[in-house]
Amino acid sequence: MRFRWDWIGPVMAVPYVPTLGPAHPGEPLSDLFAAVVAVAGTGRFLPHDKDRRWSGRKTERVLVDAIEHDRRRTLVPTLLERGGGTVRIHVYGDGLPEAAALARHLADVHGTVRAQVVSFHGPGVVHEHIENGTRVQMKDFTAGPGERPDTLVQEHGQVPAGSGFGEFAAKLAADGFAFLHGQMRDGKVGPVLTVLHDGRVAGAIGPMETMPDAAGAIRLLPQYFGVLPCYRGRGYGRALWRAAMHWGYQRGAAYQLLRTTVGGASDRLCATEGLTSLGVVKQVDA
């Protein structure tokens, strides 16, 4: 399967590659599309795939034979093998009704429990009315990391024993911190930054890790980020965010890409911290 970039490029509202996620606008997007097709079904990770840090095998692949590609729209189906399986149709250009029908069909063929459609809305669109949307944000370190945190932020390994990270992680399990805590205990991930309140973990961001992108630029990878509800509104989230940006800048990161729920607390924080919106990704059941 060969993509024609003169067909995809004009209708790509957000720089986003199936199975890889958001990309920097300066990355070779056409090469990345070709690469995810080339490794489909092999279980191999591409060298610049951020998911390499979590697993030894890639569990999402492009369903190459089901791609639909013409001047009007490109539909790229993927199959995620975890959790009962999910078929996703990534829609570039027109074709939402066709994408939903294709998602349901492929879910039946592959026996998955979910069928979804992923669509993209450029930064010029009013996103606040888009339900189930996540905004792709970019922090550019060209002008530096930004302001320093005004609250003490420490790596988890530097805080006193008994600070309660396990309890914190359990309370924010839905935000991924229980999984992260397991990875930390196994020594599989980079440092995690924390902020304490009366000697107990009130918030955290991590793991702190960098990886080259497809163009060779160093990027700060996305982190789990959360503050316990009882401690929100005290500036702890902003302090953690700023500490993370300084950590990445000091280690040579050129940028960071992340996704925030449209209208959520992290989305509002990123807006006030000067990040650039690259658009919104909407994912709905077919």
Please give the pLDDT value at position 127.
56
What beta strand segments (E) does the chain contain?
16-17, 21-22, 60-62, 68-69, 73-80, 86-93, 114-121, 133-140, 154-155, 193-197, 200-206, 210-212, 218-220, 224-227, 255-261, 276-285
When pLDDT is cut at 50, 70 and 90, the band that residue 2 belongs to is confident
Shared domain for 153 and 128, answered yes or no, is: no
Shared domain for 233 and 129, answered yes or no, is: no
Residue at 286 is within a domain: no
When pLDDT is cut at 50, 70 and 90, the band that residue 123 belongs to is confident
**Each residue of 195-221: pLDDT tens digit?**
999 999 999 999 999 999 999 999 999
**Each residue of 160-187: pLDDT tens digit?**
888 999 999 999 999 999 999 999 999 8
| 112 pLDDT above the threshold of 60 | yes
Place of tokens 């209208």: 263
Shared domain for 98 and 180, answered yes or no, is: no
**Count of domains forming the chain:** 2
What is the domain extent for residue 125? 5-135
Shared domain for 209 and 242, answered yes or no, is: yes
Residue at 175 is within a domain: yes
Shared domain for 13 and 79, answered yes or no, is: yes
Neighbours of 25 (CB within 10 A): 12
What percent of the chain has a predicted confidence (pLDDT) above 90? Answer: 88
Please give the pLDDT value at position 124.
74
**Each residue of 50-100: pLDDT tens digit?**
999 998 999 999 999 999 999 999 999 999 999 999 999 999 999 899 999
Shared domain for 34 and 120, answered yes or no, is: yes
Query: Mean pLDDT of all residues in the chain?
Result: 94
- Cα–Cα distance measured from residue 285 to residue 114, given in angstroms and rounded to the nearest whole number: 7
Residue at 272 is within a domain: no
Residue at 275 is within a domain: no
